[in-house]
Amino acid sequence: MNNVIFAMSLTLLAGLSTGVGGIVVLFSKRTNTKFLSVCLSFSAGVMLYISFAEILLEAFETLEDAYGNAAGYLITTASFFAGIALMAVIDKFLPHGDEVTELRGKNKTNDDAELKRTGVMSAIAVAIHNFPEGFITFIAAMHDPALGVAVAIAIVIHNIPEGISMAAPIYYSTGSKLKALGVSVVAGLAEPLGGLLAWLLLRRIFTDAEPVFGIAFAVVAGIMVFVSIHKLLPAAQKYGKHHLVMKWLFSGMAVMAISLVALEFVF
């Protein structure tokens, strides 16, 4: 029972770290568009790097083990683009919301509507992404507490800028600190829910669930790439200069890369 409590505590900690990103946003001024651009660019870099360098590779390895090299690659690719298609459909049907407050004081502008949609889509992507992360963290902690801690630390590192990617657009478009913080915290709670599912399924169908887990990872990678390229980067470009956007995009990639490399050296 102590191991279960420890594993669940790690998943909760990792999930709530998205709220830290929300708190960071609250200390910025709504008129500071440069900060908004930096947040969006950095988050896009984090999400793009982990999607291609970690999540998609993990999906392929899992599905390759289950179905063989060719079939595993095919299923991974199809699932990746299914994630992109899913997010494109969600984007199409999300309300454009003329009711939001404008960044610089004007009412009901397209810029704020777009920012709000960016925040909502980022929250959906992160929540879906956090669910399997919670699953992984719980399983790792139950198998080896040290491994569980290392995985949780890596997740915390990239959950903070993910929290920023959700909270910044919500705060800048609505002016509500409570909404911005609430969105980042609620999306993070998907992580302990993933840990709870792992606890329920651990003794029965964990092995059989691995292919489903691989497909979920590939879908999530597609979702995160769509959000980064279609939403975060255009929004960052709108509120900051191109050079600034590129600098923080690659900085986000570098931070995520360093955290993943550090994890490899630990084990």
pLDDT, greater one: 78 or 143: 78
Tens-digit pLDDT profile for residues 3-43: 788 888 989 988 888 888 888 777 766 656 787 788 788 87
Quote the number of domains for the chain: 1
Q: What is the pLDDT of residue 201?
A: 73
Taking the C-alpha atoms of residue 18 and residue 3, their distance in angstroms, rounded to an integer, is: 24
Mean pLDDT of all residues in 136-159: 74
pLDDT category at 99 given cuts 50, 70, 90 is: very low
Task: Out of 78-82, 170-174, 251-255, give the one with best mean pLDDT.
Answer: 78-82
Domain enclosing residue 164, as ranges: 2-266
pLDDT higher than threshold 80 for residue 48: yes
Kindly report which listed range (78-82, 112-116, 135-139, 224-228) carries the lowest average pLDDT score.
112-116
Report yes or no: 112 and 119 within 8 Å, Cβ to Cβ: no
pLDDT higher than threshold 90 for residue 60: yes
Mean pLDDT of all residues in 35-59: 84
Q: What is the pLDDT of residue 146?
A: 73
DSSP state of 135: H
Taking the C-alpha atoms of residue 109 and residue 174, their distance in angstroms, rounded to an integer, is: 11
Mean pLDDT of the chain: 79
In sequence order, which ranges of the chain are alpha helices (DSSP H)? Answer: 2-26, 33-50, 56-67, 69-93, 110-143, 145-174, 177-188, 190-201, 210-226, 233-239, 242-266
Is pTM, for the whole model, over 0.75?
Answer: no
